[in-house]
Copies of this chain bind each other. A is one copy, B any other.
Amino acid sequence: MKIPRGFLFSTAGAGIKKPGRQDLALISSVETAVCAGMFTRNKIKGAPVKLDIERIRSGKARAIIANSGNANVCTGKQGLLDAREMALIAAKGLGIDENLVFVCSTGVIGAPLPMERIRPRIAEMAENIGRAGIEDAARAIMTTDTFPKTASKSLRIAGREVRIAGIAKGSGMIHPDMATMLSFIITDLAIGKGAIGKGLLQRALKASVEKSFNRVTVDGDTSTSDTVLIMANGLAGNPPLTGPGKDYAVFAQALDHVALELAAMVAADGEGATKLIRVLVKGAASKKDALRGAFAVANSPLVKTAFYGNDANWGRIMAALGKSGIAIEEEKVDIHLERLKLVNKGVSTGKDAPAADLLRKNKEIGLTIDLNLGPWSEKVLTCDLTGEYVAINAEYRT
């Protein structure tokens, strides 16, 4: 994995939720980077999200400080003070402007941050900057994730190699309504300074998020902390991007790739999940119908538990489509599991046994629903619903 030039990492353990693990990460760029971000649309937003939404206006960043174990949400004025202080300590340690530091917290809602334990560790991280790798940072932001999530891609612009790398964390309270969980993407791409570069980077990020993180659902619950940030520090030395065109398209495509890879990992690592399910609704009468239908299927507890039980219970898929409010004609619907046709014109093809086999054998499975009503299609990623999801979330705070 090629790390974009000029980005440094550091992690530390502050025992925020429990002792014994790295739960703080610091990502820093040696140069001021152009920065764009997308944030949760949940009306209840964490203190760090509120701070970042203010700071993103400048379109500039030098560092991201993130912690897991506590989301710093519903923590009143003290929560905002704590978020600001986290940035301030990191800025002092790195010798940079505090307004260029972004803060992200993930974990339990409603508990004050244990700042007495966090403060000394942030200062320590700033001192140790560069001693950790990107995967260490990915690991430090994990909550119920079972593996760290990283992805990368290189591209060429005017003969220069441009690198993109990203990290993300899931893995519950996942339902996109702008951005997602936490994801930090770094690139050494050079992009115009000021409003032009900021606008262009935001545009690329928004398009990528729309295709990736905004097409993932684990449990239909939208987090209060969802944040995606991208920093572009220019060290690739390419002629700075200043508008749409071929170079922008190449970059945007590579960014899509990184975001999609991270999003698929988030779905595959959904709490308790045993399967990644790719739900494709096609033949819809409108784009909105395609998306709504795909999410209705992807969020149906009955569909998700059936997949867990290796039962391609297509009746539940039909019920989920029917309740979603989209245009649907029962006698036109075809459903495939991979290439196996389960439903032909609304009725069973009697393929339950081979479908169960397919589900037993595959950790990743494609479900294709053709409404045969129009030209629109949408794809959504989800996972199965298991007893382990319940166990994780029944015991999360205890």
Contact = CB atoms under 8 A, between A and B. Distances in A.
Interface in A353-398: 385-387, 389-398
Contacts of A319: 42, 44, 73, 109, 173, 221-224
A323 interface: yes
Interface in A311-363: 311, 313-316, 318-323, 325-326, 328, 330-331, 343, 346-348, 352
Contact of A316 (B109, B305, B308, B346): B109
A67 to B, nearest CB: 16
The complex is assembled from copies of this chain, and their number is 2
A249 interface: no
A387 B392 CA distance: 10
A74 interface: yes
Nearest to A387: B387
A63 to B, nearest CB: 27
A321 B44 CA distance: 8
A301 interface: yes
A110 interface: yes
Contacts of A111: 315, 348
A144 to B, nearest CB: 11
Given A110-B348, A305-B390, A389-B390, 19 more contacts: A43-B328, A45-B322, A75-B347, A110-B314, A173-B316, A220-B299, A221-B300, A221-B301, A221-B320, A221-B323, A222-B322, A222-B323, A301-B393, A302-B393, A305-B392, A305-B394, A308-B394, A309-B396, A313-B397
